[in-house]
Structure 1
């Protein structure tokens, strides 16, 4: 195939767009000049594409009927069996539908990607199959993974298995419902503002967002490269730790990965207990404007239960935590907008580009009117502030991240772990179809004040269920220094052994 050569009208359009002010009679000279560049593009076009190897057989799967999909959690069901033995042998896994699984449809919750079929396996897919796991399908997620609730997917709302009519949490919403209902043992989600930990809190299971870059993001549809995290979802701490041992490590294809540890042993401390742990209860993680009293009280009660397990527990103040979400906001809205305009991969980084996904996303603006209100509001804000201030507030926020992270690191001088509510509230009711744009956006973004700061700082954080109220789970979040996931698992496993969280019922006044 020969690359289409630019025409006179193409260069005139580009000149106007770029402000070059070329006269029409100059265009002919530039058409000649650019022929050598076009010849280079011809060479690149003729070369065999660079792909990762797909080694395990699979079928495209089936789209389940409503009867076979009671929580609307599956997008497509299939079965991809890994090796006969390994640390994940016998475990059933769901993939969030922004993770590439070659030959199986993927739509990332969006109408714009309906019909897209990836041609590669994400690195995490290969690793879990090599470890003996079995993939049962792709789980629904929120539209382009922007929402923290479960009402924005083009395929319809995902329902919380713990209580009908309530949000399962987002954006890894389908994974949440499948884990909480016991349909799968493990799920791979992603987390840019809390999208693994929020569902864990709303639906009652263990959701780990590891240190930024610890798990390669290769082959997963990005949102904002400095926020992108692959996260792990499970019904037990042990399975979560085994999953991280399987997926962690360098793949040389993801620029997010830097200065990784050389050992990924997260199971060895599971039975160690809490006698040596110092836990700081972050004052600023409580009493938000939308905090529910039973959530704050249940998390404080759970923190006190750690004392009975031998941990040293005391309150710590980190005032800058209260501004963490505000620092996250310009990075999220401007970064998301810029990356989407770059066909979801942008440029200026080395690694694996999923060119088939870039092609599928190329004409997204032709379908932008179909976007849900939360995505529209993000794009409007991102475009306005990027254009009005030339990215200065994105840059200022990224610079402020260092100050915020230093505040957490300073607290770690006195504590091994920090503790706070994962989210300020329990899973709310799903919205009705006549909800206003304002209510739609509020419900999508109302819960991530505590989770978002650990996306921009990259610190590992895990939500674990610590009680329930009115039939809905309550989540407690543990945070550790970079690459200290084993300490989080140590504390989470001790709590899991000692307390049956559904029986830690909040005592209503």
Structure 2
């Protein structure tokens, strides 16, 4: 179908007055008359802009079957939104791999819902750069994976398509917001998957569902083509059942995208060379604050400390370290994310004031849908918008701005320890998966989805600082998986990979019970 530009008209008198009042302008009747005339004359540029093409997105030559919505018979844990089939004849390092793509990342011709009724029916025209790189490497895209709606929740239950269930016990949740990607790899529905991470959305479901989730350094992997929450903390990364497979995917998707505003200088590494390496002498800082949150479980703490002991047996040197800023990283995240996400929302998912490519198709689809179907959003989404805009309007951006300034102190606190340690270690989440509960009140559902009991207290800070962080399974507590999180210096993914891989190769984590 040919995409037609909108019919551009100047504002009506009432619309102009409403806009003026939103800026606290009290216009006289004469001023309204003058501005009506001036605006109508100036809006001629819109017609010329519509005549020019900005079609710089890519759609790799591929066989594209947009597929169909998953059924409960095929997908009992609710990991998949859409089964699809997109493949090329390319041969590369991912030939033979079936890949799941989180359903907030664009695959040309395949519906992208962001797990929301509001976005249902949107078919992107272009592939996100990560998808293009996967296809170029020989991968086959076979699924769009379920997620928490609009990626603003983390329990795995806030999806318009229903909760994502834990592969180790379906009375429990998978975690989110990339829960479908985690479950799909654990159950073998795909070989590897792609998720996003803005508060822990890769690492939480990896920890709860028993797989590897790898949040790279901010900007290492382009985020363009995915629905954003905030340019300063948007991350994309791989999920897999092994560190090796996650590394293979990272090796393919990492690198500069000149049209992504999140990227500055991008330092890529020899990630595959980091596999099966000796960690003798590797220095591990065990962050004491990462074990002390209210609501944390002793089984999780014991399992992670035992994993560190295992790394010491493999030749690493571990030492307890205190980083008080780690506790306040949670509050810095809240202040930055709420207002930044609301601002991106107000800009219809595009943002302003940055270089790079703007997805006008997504902006139009999202803009139209959110204006006509806003009541259908999950309460987590509504809360994010209301709180973020209120803080901006009432306090003039004070808390967002101050927290942005404090990110430098938060980052420096970790970097100071990285002068002594090669990686930092802590639980990915302080607890195992939440039990599935029916008939929750709105307040209960939002609190579970957005940080109950400190679920993301360890993951959130590293979305603010941008350090690479991987979650690798390290045992079980009461039958549910535990995640060990390892954090490294910026753009030193190889070190994180080598330690995680060494642990995985020398440990049968499913036999470790705490």
TM-score bracket relative to the smaller structure:
over 0.9
Secondary structure of the corresponding residue to residue 179 of structure 1: helix
In structure 1, how many angstroms separate the alpha carbons of the residues matched to 2:70 and 2:366?
Answer: 25
1:420-431 map, 5 Å: 420-431=426-437
Across the aligned residues of Structure 1 and Structure 2, the Cα RMSD in angstroms comes to 1.3
Q: 1:216 and 2:222 equivalent?
A: yes
Pick from 486, 493, 505: which aligns with 1:497? 505
In structure 2, how many angstroms separate the alpha carbons of the residues matched to 1:368 and 1:48?
Answer: 31
- For 2:446, the equivalent position in structure 1 comes to 441
Q: Could you state the TM-score of these two structures normalised by the residue count of structure 2?
A: 0.96
In structure 2, how many angstroms separate the alpha carbons of the residues matched to 1:203 and 1:468?
Answer: 10
In structure 2, how many angstroms separate the alpha carbons of the residues matched to 1:20 and 1:322?
Answer: 43
Q: 1:267 and 2:285 equivalent?
A: no
Q: 1:33 and 2:41 equivalent?
A: no
Pick from 380, 396, 399: which aligns with 2:405? 399
- Between the two proteins, the alignment pairs up a number of residues equal to 504
Q: 1:387 and 2:398 equivalent?
A: no
- For 1:299, the equivalent position in structure 2 comes to 304
Task: Answer with 230-239 or 360-369: which moved more.
Answer: 360-369
Aligned residues of 2:269 and 2:493 also touching (Cα < 8 A): no
Q: Deviation at 1:397?
A: 0.5
Task: Answer with 351-360 or 33-42: which moved more.
Answer: 33-42
- For 2:330, the equivalent position in structure 1 comes to 325
Aligned residues of 1:462 and 1:479 also touching (Cα < 8 A): yes
In structure 2, how many angstroms separate the alpha carbons of the residues matched to 1:119 and 1:333?
Answer: 29
Q: Deviation at 1:458?
A: 0.4
Q: 1:172 and 2:197 equivalent?
A: no
Q: Deviation at 1:365?
A: 4.2
Q: 1:334 and 2:356 equivalent?
A: no
What does the per-residue CA deviation read over 1:133-167, in whole Å, with 9 as the maximum and x for residues that have no partner?
Answer: 11002011111111111110011111111111111
Task: Answer with 461-470 or 354-363: which moved more.
Answer: 354-363
Secondary structure of the corresponding residue to residue 386 of structure 1: helix
Task: Answer with 16-25 or 482-491: which moved more.
Answer: 16-25
In structure 2, how many angstroms separate the alpha carbons of the residues matched to 1:32 and 1:181?
Answer: 63
Q: Deviation at 1:342?
A: 1.2
Q: 1:72 and 2:78 equivalent?
A: yes
Q: Deviation at 1:50?
A: 2.0
- For 2:92, the equivalent position in structure 1 comes to 86
1:78-227 map, 5 Å: 78-227=84-233
Runs of 4+ in 1 over 6 A off after TM superposition: none
Task: Answer with 354-363 or 386-395: which moved more.
Answer: 354-363
Task: Answer with 447-456 or 44-53: which moved more.
Answer: 44-53
Aligned residues of 1:248 and 1:264 also touching (Cα < 8 A): no
Task: Answer with 287-296 or 344-353: which moved more.
Answer: 344-353
Q: 1:23 and 2:31 equivalent?
A: no
Q: 1:309 and 2:309 equivalent?
A: no
Q: Could you state the TM-score of these two structures normalised by the residue count of structure 1?
A: 0.97
Aligned residues of 2:279 and 2:498 also touching (Cα < 8 A): yes
In structure 1, how many angstroms separate the alpha carbons of the residues matched to 2:395 and 2:24?
Answer: 18
Aligned residues of 1:162 and 1:180 also touching (Cα < 8 A): no
Aligned residues of 2:429 and 2:456 also touching (Cα < 8 A): yes
What does the per-residue CA deviation read over 1:337-391, in whole Å, with 9 as the maximum and x for residues that have no partner?
Answer: 1111110112111212111111111141443322223223322321221121011
In structure 2, how many angstroms separate the alpha carbons of the residues matched to 1:321 and 1:145?
Answer: 23
In structure 2, how many angstroms separate the alpha carbons of the residues matched to 1:104 and 1:14?
Answer: 37
What does the per-residue CA deviation read over 1:407-441, in whole Å, with 9 as the maximum and x for residues that have no partner?
Answer: 00000111000000000000111121x11122212
Q: 1:473 and 2:478 equivalent?
A: no
What does the per-residue CA deviation read over 1:109-148, in whole Å, with 9 as the maximum and x for residues that have no partner?
Answer: 1111111111111000100000011100201111111111
- For 1:234, the equivalent position in structure 2 comes to 240
Secondary structure of the corresponding residue to residue 194 of structure 2: strand
Q: Deviation at 1:64?
A: 2.1
In structure 2, how many angstroms separate the alpha carbons of the residues matched to 1:435 and 1:3?
Answer: 45
In structure 2, how many angstroms separate the alpha carbons of the residues matched to 1:8 and 1:435?
Answer: 46
Q: Deviation at 1:195?
A: 0.1
What does the per-residue CA deviation read over 1:161-195, in whole Å, with 9 as the maximum and x for residues that have no partner?
Answer: 11111110100011111011111111110000000
In structure 2, how many angstroms separate the alpha carbons of the residues matched to 1:413 and 1:361?
Answer: 44
Q: Deviation at 1:19?
A: 2.2
Aligned residues of 1:85 and 1:131 also touching (Cα < 8 A): yes
Return 5+ residue gaps in structure 2 as ranges. Answer: none
Q: 1:13 and 2:7 equivalent?
A: no
Aligned residues of 2:90 and 2:136 also touching (Cα < 8 A): no
In structure 1, how many angstroms separate the alpha carbons of the residues matched to 2:446 and 2:16?
Answer: 40
What does the per-residue CA deviation read over 1:29-69, in whole Å, with 9 as the maximum and x for residues that have no partner?
Answer: 22332234211111001222323121222022111221111
- For 1:3, the equivalent position in structure 2 comes to 8
Aligned residues of 1:82 and 1:128 also touching (Cα < 8 A): no
- For 1:347, the equivalent position in structure 2 comes to 352
What does the per-residue CA deviation read over 1:186-213, in whole Å, with 9 as the maximum and x for residues that have no partner?
Answer: 1110000000000000001110000000
Return 5+ residue gaps in structure 1 as ranges. Answer: none
